[in-house]
Amino acid sequence: MRIELICTGNELLAGKLNTNAAYIGSQLFNIGLELSYVTYVSDRKQDLVGQFNLAFERSKVIIATGGLGPTFDDITAETAAECLALSLYCDEKVLESIKEYFSRKSASKIPKINEKQANIIKGAKVLTNRLGTAPGQMLHFEFKESGKKYRKTLFLLPGPPREMKPMFEENIVPFLKNYSSGIRKNVSLHVFGLSESAVAEAIKPIIEEAKFENSQTVEFGILASDSIIDIKFVVSGVNEFVVDSVIKNLNLRFSDVLKENIFGYNEDTLASIVGKLLIKKRKNVSFAESCTGGKVAAAITDISGSSLYFNSSVVTYSNESKIKVLGVKEKIIKDFGAVSKETAEEMAKGVLNLTGSDYAFSVTGVAGPCGGSKDKPVGLVYVGFADKERTESFKFNFVGTRKDIRERTVNTVLDCLRKKLIEKQSKK
């Protein structure tokens, strides 16, 4: 079955990142289907007419995103209706829901241009938009070709991902599952502390054996980003119990060879895993950041509920702030430099004393692109750690751009915290 995605909008052709195509493709993949075509088309009517006519001819299911707004260039619904020789009508229930949306925003009345969004193609089912004013539409229609009639389906969805995604999951996924002839499940294992080549070498025997052992189709891939290695595999079959058994077995075998370097699965992040461990141990943490400029704290607080375990973070970028805020001895910085194990340890102790947290981490380094030297090159980073029992530091040498070095440093600090929590847990 051919499924086609049409992404509308001049901004997409001008280079704006379109995440809708990747999202829709992955959702279809999960239910054993795939996109046959993905097309980007401008807001010009003649371009949209041409693309709709082509899609109606060659595909069974057509999904269009964007162009459902209230402005003059939002012409998706009226163009689709014209191509199918159907009329539009004002849906009173949709109009009322738009009025209620503006009422909740304390608007005295609905802007006149928004009334256009209540125009629905005759025969279409309205798909509720809980997060915006543009309703989606689902239309079954007949298409004549070579004297035969074919039943096809058109979905019109809003362009903003936050509005499109719930509508897609609640309406299109259940509909398309009826056409799926098998089961396909994606799994991602997240690894930190090993290089991509080391991970590939370690899991090579498992991958080779899996391809011969299973009657199910298994596909593998590896992706590296900011020192995090993702092992991705897809298991396809017709029996869900068997597919789940294959996934469980592969997870166990990967865990046997990669051990604690696997920090999570699927939607897990280092920050979310650290948060779960801190909650489990009923501990909290604080940070003293220099070269990362608060990015460690930002990663931690990106997780909902982080107030349960995150105490505070101090950005002490200058030497003066390290001395005045954290109590780092001036002689330490003078003798060893701001980027040194000694300074990192003093920073960690300083923020521990300042906040009274259970754990404290510090980071100081040379993020570049300038500021490096022969003894302290760009990419040199020290991470300090302190708790009530000990103080220590770790040295790292990263490569890449300033952004790369800072991102890798953030992930390294989080992984150091993760390993400390695992270490404490294993000693009990």
- Contact assessment for residue 64 and residue 155, using Cβ atoms and an 8 Å cutoff: yes
Region of poorest pLDDT, from 35-44, 152-161, 209-218: 209-218
* Cα distance between residue 268 and residue 251, in whole Å: 15
**pLDDT tens, residue by residue, 96-141:** 999 999 888 876 688 899 999 999 999 999 999 999 999 999 999 9
- The residue behind tokens 């915006």 is 132
% of the chain at pLDDT higher than 70: 97
* Residue from 127, 114, 131, 119 nearest 154 by CA: 127
DSSP 126-143: EE--SSSS--EEEEEEEE
Domains and CATH numbers, the chain: 3-177 (3.40.980.10), 183-265 (3.30.70.600), 270-427 (3.90.950.20)
Residue 423: pLDDT over 60:
yes
Residues in contact with 177: Cβ distance below 8 Å, sequence separation at least 6, in sequence order: 31
What is this structure's pTM? 0.74
Residues in contact with 161: Cβ distance below 8 Å, sequence separation at least 6, in sequence order: 19, 20, 23
Residue 189: pLDDT over 60:
yes
Q: What is the mean pLDDT of residues 172-176?
A: 95
